[in-house]
Structures are given as C-alpha cells and as structure tokens.
Structure 1
Amino acid sequence: MISLIQKYNVPGPRYTSYPTVPFWDEEKFTEQQWIHDVKETFKISNQTDGISLYIHLPFCESLCTFCGCNKRITKRHEVELPYIQAVIKEWRMYCNLFSRKPNIKEIHLGGGTPTFFSVENLTLLIHGIFETANKATNYIFSFEGHPNNTTKEHLQTLYDLGFRRVSFGVQDYSPKVQEAIHRMQSFHNVSKVTLLAKEIGYTSIGHDLIYGLPFQTLENVEDTILKTKSLLPDRISFYSYAHVPWLKGNGQRGFNDEDIPQSEAKRQLYELGKKMLLEIGYVEIGMDHFALPSDEMYLAFTNKTLHRNFMGYTASKTDVMIGLGVSSISDSWNSFAQNEKSLDAYYIKINANTLPVFRGHHLTNEDLIIRQHILNLMCHFETSWENESQFFPEIYEVLDSLYEMQQDGLLVIQDKKLTVTDLGKAYVRNICMAFDLRLKKVAPQTELFSMTI
C-alpha cells in the first residue's frame, strides 16, 4: 500500500507569494505601473499599518552548501560601505515617490550574513533609513545572525537601534552534518550568542533548524533538539532542506544525492523533531514553525493576524513591503517587483539613479483572490469562500481535485469552508497547490521547486 508521503512528496512551492516567482507575467510588467501601484497602496498603508522593509545584505565569508539564497562570498570587508551607500540611495529613490514621510512598521535584515557587516556600517544603514522615515507605533525590527561572527557589540548596537528580534542559523549540531554543509559552528557559539541576546533584552530569539540534511540521522535530530531545549529560544523554524542543486551558484553539489535522507526517512526526522518540540512546550505555528506561548508569533497565530510574505512568517501585516538591496523583492499588494540579482547590475542602476528593478508581476483580480486563500491556508490552516469576495469560478474544480486528500484525512470541507487537519498540516503545500491556478495552467517543464515533504 502506497504511503501518504510516497503519494504527496512532489515538487512544490513554499508559497511566500502568489503567484510564485516562476509564474509571474513578466511581459506585462512595467516599472511605471509598479511605481503607480506602490504609490497608491502607500497612501493608505502608511496611515494605517505603516510599511515594511526587507534589506538584503548578501555577503558571506564562506559558502554553506545547503543555502539557496543570493549571496556573494568574500573576506574583503571593504565591500561593506559601498553596498550600504547604494541601499540608502535606493531607499531615498522610493522616499521621493511617496506623498509623505514613511512610517516603518517592520525591518528585517536578511542575507547572506547581516553580521558580516561591522556595527559602524549597520548603524550607518539604520540611521540612513530613518533620516527620511519615522518609526511606526509598535514597530518590529529583526535580523539574522551567524553564531560564529555575531558579537556582543553587534547585539548591543542593534538593540540600541530598536531591534528586539534575532534569529540564529543553527541547522544541526552534528559535526559530520556540519562538515557536509560547510557550516562548522559549535553549540558553545550558539549558546553564547543566545544567552547574550537574552541578557541584553531581546524579546524574541529564534533558532533556525533544518531536517533532511546530508548524513543527518534520528540521533542527530534528537541531540539538536535536546541542546535547543537547554537554551529555550522563543521560536523555532524547523525547515525542510530544499535540495535544489540546479540553481546556479548555490553550492549544493558538495555532497552526493544518496547522502540525503529521502521520503519516509526524511519525514521521520521531522516527526521526531516536532514531537520533541511539542513536548518541550512549543506550539506549531504555520508550516515548519514553532513558538512558545509567550511569543508574539503564537499570539498572532491565535488572533489570526499571522502573515506570510517574502520574509517568511511575520506577526504583523503591511500592504507595502519594500525590498532593498540586490535580488530583494518588493510587494505593493497589487504588484511584485524584484531587484537585479547580480551585484554589478544592481550597482549600475543605482549609479544611474534608477530603481534597480528588473522584473515583476501585476496581480489580476483572480490572483488577489487566490493569494488570499493561500495566505489563509499557510497562516491559519483554513480558508473559506462563503464571502462573495473570496469566491472564484474554478473553486468547484479545486474542490474536486482535493477529494482524494479529504479521503486521506488531510482536510475537511463543509459549509463553504476548508480546514486542514492535524495530519494534513504536513501537506499544506500540496493543499495550496490545488488552489494554484497558474501552476495548473502552465505545468513547469524544468525543475523549479524542492520536494514538498
């Protein structure tokens, strides 16, 4: 008898957006329409929720072979200042478009390795942003820290600048696994920065863990979770390793395919980790995320204000998210726009005083409806089409395609509402794919996505 994992372990998106990037209608995208959309949404969002900033800081001193992010490997720290100056210049281009001074609700520094940058240059960046902006009420600033190079000075300086959330990339504590993914870091280093962050006053400390890494065993996951328990971070991201070696430059050919746990074995790693996290007192929040009941992410989940965008899960939602830096993606709710992915191309446009956008997508009315359904499923494990605004003609086809999943106990459909069961949470990406009309209309002819399980 075929197992659920064998049946549903297929390539699929992680749905940090809808439409997903491979299905953007780039031919219809224009920078003029993007500027119009972001200006119009800003007028409303800035006065109510404020806006969000994602700032991509791409530099790393060494290459981690599990990583699919846009990065530039270098040990030359003289690259920092020119990049910070370019990002500030890009931000001011956006400020010139806006009708009034932006109120920033959320900032996230991602990478790459944000703590590659010196505290002086990070201070210059944040001060440069707020020369032309205000902090919104109840703002949330967060950054990603590498345990090996995040110093007490980093933590204190960013705290003084308003940051209260930090996430540390841990992945796994096994030396064999760490060697395979070229990410050698000790529990001592993770413990040191976690305790420092708590001592300084950070209110939400996260650890990023990954299951399905090369050579990873059940014993490795158990050891990692037990060590995590001793530090008790406020939230945990327990991601599935996305094996996408076809992406140029991501370094994922540093080990053989047979070294990676597959299907049932991989899922056992997750189930063990999840069981242990729940026993410790964490609550499952969205896909692959866990939080202590005291964390704002848990409160957002219970209040149904949890949101998901290109930064992942967030405890608050703004309709405008500006992505600054190379490869960053911006969102005006009605449109997406992505910056140049090459650092050289990014600098050329910045130096020419033009927005460094190279592609995007303008959402249709159908896109907006499907986007909301997928957001509902990813954030709340349920969605409804009872309200006329969330109805779309293909809903009956979608429901037909979900029949087998309902028979398998992954979801319940009744009274124009779909609810994901506890069993179905592991397959929420597959459920979302049933709503993904663009994926259904144009099946990918090449490898695009990692496996869903």
Structure 2
Amino acid sequence: MLQAELIRKYNVPGPRYTSYPTVPYWDKAPFTEAQWKEHVKKAFQVSNQKDGISLYLHLPYCESLCTFCACNKRITKNHGVELPYIETLLQEWKLYLQLFEGEKPRIQEIHLGGGTPTFFSPEHLKQLIRSILETSEVTDTAEFSFEGHPKNTTKEHLEALHEVGFTRVSFGIQDFDLKVQEIINRVQSFESVKEVTDNARAAGYTSVNYDLIYGLPFQTKESIVDTIEKVKLLKPDRIAYYSYAHVPWIGQTGQRRFTEADLPADEEKRLLYELGKKMLEEAGYIEIGMDHFALKEDSLYKATESKSLHRNFMGYAANYTQLMIGLGVSSISDSWTAFAQNHKKVEDYQQAVAEGHIPIYRGHPLTEEDLILRKHILDVMCHFETSWEKEEQQVGILFEAKERLTEMEKDGLLEIGETSLRVTDAGKAFVRNICMALDGRMLRAKPESRIFSQTV
C-alpha cells in the first residue's frame, strides 16, 4: 500500500503513551493520599538501593504564551512568585522524605520541566537543587537535565545548574522560519540558539537536545529544510522531532490563534516528518524510539543498543528507576504499581502542601492486566518489538491484539509471531496505532468524544 494511503487509513486520534494506562483512562474511583504513600514506600524499598529514584520538578511559569504549547503553565512577568513556589516544592520533598524513614534517597535522575524552568533565576534554581541534594545521595550514573528557553537561558543559568550536577540541557527550537515563529509566538533567531548552545558546551554540558516540531501552522517543506540545515550546523547530541498536537478542544486556548486550515494535514504533514528524518539520518542521527534521534556517542543511543531505553512522563530516558517522584503543580509520579497526579492549579497545590499533605488530587493503582500491557506497550515504544510468555495470552486484550493487528501486518507495518511482534521500518511511523491495539483501557472505553491528537 502506498504511504499516502497508509496515512489516510491510520491517521486517527491516539495517545502518545508516556504512560499506560493513559491519564484519560485512569480509574475514576477516589485514590487517597494514604494509598499513594503505601505505593511509594514499597517502590522506594525496591528502587532506591537497586537503581536509585528519579525526580521530575515542574516549574510552570512563563513570561509569554507559546500558542502551540499544551503543557500546564502560568503566564506572568511577576518574578516574585519564584521563591514561594520553590519553598513549596522543598516542603513537598520533605513530605516524601518522611516516608523513607531515615534512608537517604539515591538520585539517579533529575529533570526540570515546565513551563519555562529558566524563568527562575540561577540563584533560585541552584538553591532548589542544593536543598534536595543535601538530603540525598547521587548515583554514579546519574543524569540531571533541564528544559531551557533559548531566549532567556543565560550563561549564569547554565553555569549555576552545571555547578550542581546538570550535564544535559534541552532547548525548544520548534522551527527557524520567522512566519512560523510569529504565529506560535516563539520568535528566536539562529544566532541566539547558536549562542546558547555554545555557552552550554563551554559550561561543560555533554548532551544538548533540540526540540523540533513538524505540523505547525504555515510550515512548509522549505521551512523544514532550512530548519534542519541550520540544526546540522550546530550538531546537537539529541533531537526530538515531534508531531504538533492540535488539541484546542481540551482547554488549550492559545491554539485557537490559528485553525486547522493553517496546518499541514495528513500526507503533507507526514511528508514533512519523512523529509526531516531523511536529512537527520544523512547527518548521522539514529532514530531512537518514537520521534527521537541521537548521535552514536549519546547515552540515549547507547541505551537503545543495550535494550535499556525507558519511557516515562519525562519522555525517553537512558535509565530506569521504579520510583519517579513528580514535585510541583500538576506533576505526575510513578511507583510502577500506581500513578498519582498533583493538583493542577498553583493555589490548590500550595495550599495542600501548606496543610501538610502530599498534594495529589487523583491517581490510578495498576491492575495485573495493566502491568502486563504496560510492559508490552513500553517494549514497542522503546525497542519496536515485544514478546510474551504463553501464559500471558490468557490476558484477553493481549490475545485479541494479534487479531486486531492482522490488518497492519498485511500492510507491512509489523510482523507477528506466535508470541511476539516486531515493528518494521515502514511501521515505525505508526507505532502509536500499534500500541492502541494493546490498549485495553481505551478499547473497552470506546471514547465517543475526541481526546487525543492525530497519530500522524
């Protein structure tokens, strides 16, 4: 079947699978703070000495709204919010420390996400991290990373965070075309990106990532070629080449600045990806998981080679820890056996912490079926293949998945064995669709309203 026909056939709404079950299909039953504490304690006992634990810190503030963004953020120019928010984060961390009963957490991974983490001053960011590290140990293979806005990530930010252990930074580039930048309210020149990249390397960062997005309003083949050519000049170690998620119906009002008529759609959008992918591969980047590329020297590529690549709410990671604690407003934590999400409004989050509560407002304990399906969806997302024990076929969804995937096999997107499946090169563009055939929660829910962005 021709690529254009495959795109028309499989371009349907679907999850990005940073978790399974995906958030819309978590149990609706109340999930209490006491329940979450028990899951955390058990996961800490297993994870801390073996692999360490991971921390995600959500810093939600931005000075201006990027209209493509679907993250939880708070727009303000008032930097007086910085210190009170950091104090709340550290108080939340103390609530978790109490659960560890005197055993020091061993930190394997810290990631600062947002929002715009570099909204915060270098001094406040350093204060935040030092306060966490004073109560912890750091593993020998730890990786600390943060998301930096090219326009406000200063040499001082880079040096301050490197001083407390950060060696990876991710810059949101999106596209270098001025017309695209203006409609998404993210104007930044090639020169400013080059300067911040050079500053990162001079400060000692060993891994620089660029986020690029295809499918943005007014994007064309010419703008993608120009963007990738400029990216090649700067040679970042990693590249995330994402599909733009157009979801104005779930409250992302900034995306209403343009309409679907302004977006490259279906075959046109996929051609932008294929063009960018071809150029990146010709420049020496290897496709890693879904929508990610890395040079062979990077730890993400090495994790792919050793089959240790992992995917969680922070994206792809080179290391796995059973316990990932999310601190900050709207952060999601993962104990492997349960998920928990913090309050989505800053005021609700800060009030809950001030009252001495771990500030979760919803969660999901994973069932035995969830755990089995999660493993296979992760394997497909990270390794483009999975296999199962014969006993696992007693899980109805897994058994039925082989039948659901028969059509995709006929289309050359995967190969199905008696107890295995492998995604072909042609099928890598449709990984989300393949995972949907394993998604028991979504299949049973049969959603009537549109929740997710298109898979292509």
Shorter-chain TM range is: over 0.9
1:340, 1:152 → 2: CA distance?
33
- What per-residue deviation string (whole Å, max 9, x for no partner) do you get for residues 237-265 of structure 1? 00000000112245111112200000000
Q: Could you say which residue in structure 2 is the equivalent of 1:50?
A: 52
Aligned partner of 1:341: which letter? K
Q: Could you say which residue in structure 1 is the equivalent of 2:298?
A: 295
- What per-residue deviation string (whole Å, max 9, x for no partner) do you get for residues 137-174 of structure 1? 21110000000000011111111110000000000000
Determine helix, strand or coil for the equivalent of 1:7.
Answer: helix
**Are the equivalent residues in 2 in contact too, given 1:126–1:161 (CA < 8 A)?**
yes
- What per-residue deviation string (whole Å, max 9, x for no partner) do you get for residues 54-87 of structure 1? 0000000000000000000001101000000000
| Deviating more after overlay: 98-107 vs 9-18 | 98-107
Aligned partner of 1:54: which letter? Y
1:283-432 to 2 correspondences below 5 Å: 283-386=286-389, 388=391, 392-432=395-435
**Are the equivalent residues in 1 in contact too, given 2:173–2:210 (CA < 8 A)?**
yes
1:10, 1:80 → 2: CA distance?
40
Q: Could you say which residue in structure 2 is the equivalent of 1:229?
A: 232
**Are the equivalent residues in 1 in contact too, given 2:309–2:382 (CA < 8 A)?**
yes
| Deviating more after overlay: 26-35 vs 417-426 | 26-35
**Are the equivalent residues in 2 in contact too, given 1:167–1:207 (CA < 8 A)?**
yes
Deviation at 1:26, TM superposition (A): 2.9
Aligned partner of 2:225: which letter? E
2:444, 2:29 → 1: CA distance?
17
1:263, 1:452 → 2: CA distance?
10
1:389, 1:87 → 2: CA distance?
41
Query: Structure 1 length normalisation: TM-score?
Result: 0.98
User: Which residue, out of 178, 181, 185, partners 2:188?
Assistant: 185
Q: Which runs of 5+ in 1 are unaligned?
A: none
1:415, 1:399 → 2: CA distance?
9
**Are the equivalent residues in 1 in contact too, given 2:179–2:218 (CA < 8 A)?**
yes
1:61, 1:305 → 2: CA distance?
37
Q: Could you say which residue in structure 2 is the equivalent of 1:63?
A: 65
Deviation at 1:394, TM superposition (A): 3.1
Q: Could you say which residue in structure 1 is the equivalent of 2:12?
A: 10
| Deviating more after overlay: 305-314 vs 1-10 | 1-10
Determine helix, strand or coil for the equivalent of 1:323.
Answer: strand
Aligned partner of 2:428: which letter? K
Q: Could you say which residue in structure 1 is the equivalent of 2:29?
A: 27
Aligned partner of 1:276: which letter? M
Q: Could you say which residue in structure 2 is the equivalent of 1:36?
A: 38
User: Which residue, out of 96, 99, 116, partners 2:98?
Assistant: 96
Determine helix, strand or coil for the equivalent of 1:374.
Answer: helix
- What per-residue deviation string (whole Å, max 9, x for no partner) do you get for residues 93-115 of structure 1? 00001131111100000000000
User: Which residue, out of 191, 199, 203, partners 2:206?
Assistant: 203
**Are the equivalent residues in 2 in contact too, given 1:9–1:451 (CA < 8 A)?**
yes
Coordinate RMSD, CA, aligned = 1.2
Aligned pair count reads 453
Query: Structure 2 length normalisation: TM-score?
Result: 0.98
Residue 85 in structure 1 maps to residue 94 in structure 2 = no
Aligned partner of 1:12: which letter? G
Determine helix, strand or coil for the equivalent of 1:378.
Answer: helix
1:62, 1:395 → 2: CA distance?
45
Aligned partner of 2:417: which letter? Q
Identity of aligned residues (%): 61
Determine helix, strand or coil for the equivalent of 2:232.
Answer: helix
**Are the equivalent residues in 2 in contact too, given 1:92–1:132 (CA < 8 A)?**
no
Determine helix, strand or coil for the equivalent of 2:249.
Answer: coil
Determine helix, strand or coil for the equivalent of 1:3.
Answer: helix
**Are the equivalent residues in 1 in contact too, given 2:30–2:362 (CA < 8 A)?**
no
Residue 239 in structure 1 maps to residue 242 in structure 2 = yes
Aligned partner of 2:65: which letter? L
1:50, 1:26 → 2: CA distance?
31
Aligned partner of 2:38: which letter? H
Deviation at 1:322, TM superposition (A): 0.2
2:14, 2:94 → 1: CA distance?
37
**Are the equivalent residues in 2 in contact too, given 1:12–1:430 (CA < 8 A)?**
yes
Structure 1 residues 107 and 390: alpha-carbon distance in aligned structure 2, compared to 1, 3 A threshold: farther
Deviation at 1:414, TM superposition (A): 1.7
Q: Could you say which residue in structure 2 is the equivalent of 1:132?
A: 135
Q: Which runs of 5+ in 2 are unaligned?
A: none
Determine helix, strand or coil for the equivalent of 1:129.
Answer: helix
Deviation at 1:388, TM superposition (A): 4.0
Aligned partner of 1:46: which letter? N
Determine helix, strand or coil for the equivalent of 1:136.
Answer: strand
Deviation at 1:387, TM superposition (A): 6.0
| Deviating more after overlay: 12-21 vs 410-419 | 410-419
Residue 119 in structure 1 maps to residue 122 in structure 2 = yes
Determine helix, strand or coil for the equivalent of 2:278.
Answer: helix
Residue 156 in structure 1 maps to residue 159 in structure 2 = yes
- What per-residue deviation string (whole Å, max 9, x for no partner) do you get for residues 155-211 of structure 1? 111111100000000000000000010101111111001111112221110000000
Deviation at 1:134, TM superposition (A): 1.3
1:355, 1:373 → 2: CA distance?
31
